[in-house]
Amino acid sequence: MKTKIIILLSIVAFVLASPFIFNKRVTISDPHTLDADGNFILYEWVEPRTGKGPDWDYNLKPVKVSDRVWCFFGALEMPTKENAGDMSNSCYIKGNDSWIAWDTGPSAIFAKQAYEAMSKIAKLPVKHVIVSHEHDDHWLGNSYYKEVHGAEIIGPESVNVNYHKGDQTRMIKTLYQNAIRGTELVPVDRSFEDTTKFKISGINFEYVRVGYAHSEEDWFLYLPDDKTVLVGDVVMNGRVTSNRDGIVIGQINALKAIKARDWNHLVPGHGFITDKTAADESIRYFTLIKDEVLEGIEEEVIPDDITKVVTLEEFRDKDLYYTLSSGNVYRAYEELEMYEGDEDEDDEDDEDEDEEEEE
């Protein structure tokens, strides 16, 4: 009797489980929920969160980097609820009659608090914002400067191509409502085709296009009179970079263009080192990754094994090594498999320089 019940229960269990065992068909009702590799995108929409409590306090303290530049330095972490996206570097440049903001942080509330902190140094409006690249930890503060100051936003065209009002970026999905509320995706007002020199509020700038490097389109900002360079994410220090959207060869070229300028201070996109050694870690990381991955390809290491062979030991004690480094190596393998060698190694820095004047 007992055996019969067990057999019967087994049959019932088998029938119930059969859709999972014979899972030959997956019905995709909405193809938009697949990413480029055909994986399901989970949590693609989060209910917008609004609340009435006090704004998140970012507790921002500006650090003076050079005569005219102050920066807010973010944590060496991934964006989380706990850091409210305060994990990248955001700067202010003091012009004669206005502030110029460089990379505006992860939210409108961050930007508002940054402005309040800077107003204690000089009560000037922000009339221009300049952006390094499209990653949302670097420019979601733009909406504050647009709405409150009517600032002109200068930045890469890729921001307008890849982000639209109402889209939900990583920050918008991740942060608590009291940190992200009021943040809108606002378009860039002005983009340049290539490296351009201009003057804003008495300050000379060279806005240098490095193209596809850390992201689809990276730019850095050189202040020749201050001998200072603000470089966005083509340089990081103290932590391992994320090359998920980038390419090693583009990174190396960007680092060469930075090296070609005369500077005493460099502000990385992430990291606290701003002296003449600030770019060294990134140069070392990308040189090593290129050489070792190419060597692995030469020795016919298969893609699945490349992260076992190229471990970049000397970066093991850097923040985010375990989270990001093997992904960077794997991605470098995909890229460098097609690599033909350094044919144009010598003309790395031949960008056109358009002169342009502005008040």
Q: Which stretch binds Zn ion (CB under 5 A): 12-20, 43-51, 233-241, 256-264?
A: 233-241
Q: Which stretch binds Zn ion (CB under 5 A): 19-27, 73-81, 132-140, 197-205?
A: 132-140
Q: Which stretch binds Zn ion (CB under 5 A): 18-26, 153-161, 228-236, 331-339?
A: 228-236
How far does Cα 216 stand from its chain's mean position? 11
Nearer to Zn ion, 135 or 265 (CB): 135
Nearer to Zn ion, 149 or 270 (CB): 270
Rounded distance between C-alpha atoms, residue 140 and residue 75, angstroms: 17
Nearer to Zn ion, 216 or 226 (CB): 216
Nearer to Zn ion, 124 or 185 (CB): 185
Q: Name the minimum Å distance from CB 88 to Zn ion.
A: 7
Among 233, 267, 286, 312, binds Zn ion (CB under 5 A): 233
Residue nearest to Zn ion (CB): 135
Q: Name the minimum Å distance from CB 133 to Zn ion.
A: 6
H/E stretch holding 220 reads strand 218-223
Among 68, 127, 128, 135, binds Zn ion (CB under 5 A): 135
Written as six digits, the tokens of 120 are 């204690």
Q: Which stretch binds Zn ion (CB under 5 A): 47-55, 129-137, 288-296, 346-354?
A: 129-137
Nearer to Zn ion, 135 or 209 (CB): 135
Q: Which stretch binds Zn ion (CB under 5 A): 176-184, 194-202, 230-238, 335-343?
A: 230-238
**Integer CA distances (angstroms), 288 to 280, 284, 296, 310, in order:** 12, 6, 12, 9
Rounded distance between C-alpha atoms, residue 234 and residue 223, angstroms: 17
What is the size of the binding site for Zn ion (CB under 5 A)? 2
Q: Which long-range contacts (CB under 8 A, 24 or more apart) does 114-121 make?
A: 114/58, 114/60, 114/62, 114/72, 114/90, 114/141, 115/144, 115/145, 115/148, 117/60, 117/61, 117/62, 117/72, 118/62, 118/70, 118/92, 121/62, 121/70, 121/94
By CB under 5 A, residue 134 contacts Zn ion: no
Q: Name the minimum Å distance from CB 236 to Zn ion.
A: 9
Strand locations in 41-184, DSSP E?
A: 63-64, 69-72, 90-94, 99-102, 126-130, 152-154
Site for Zn ion in 82-121 (CB under 5 A): none
Q: Which stretch binds Zn ion (CB under 5 A): 14-22, 69-77, 133-141, 341-349?
A: 133-141
| Side chain identity at residue 60, one-letter code | L
Site for Zn ion in 2-61 (CB under 5 A): none
Bridge partners, residue 206, by sequence: 197, 222
* Residues in contact with Zn ion, shown as a per-residue x/- string from 140 to 179 under the rule CB under 5 A: ----------------------------------------
CA end-to-end span of the chain, whole Å?
94
At residue 153, the 3 state secondary structure works out as strand
Q: Name the minimum Å distance from CB 246 to Zn ion.
A: 8
Return all residues near 257 (Cβ < 8 A) that are at least 6 apart.
208, 210, 220, 348, 349, 351
Written as six digits, the tokens of 290 are 């290129």
Q: In the complex, which residues of this chain contact Zn ion (CB under 5 A)?
A: 135, 233
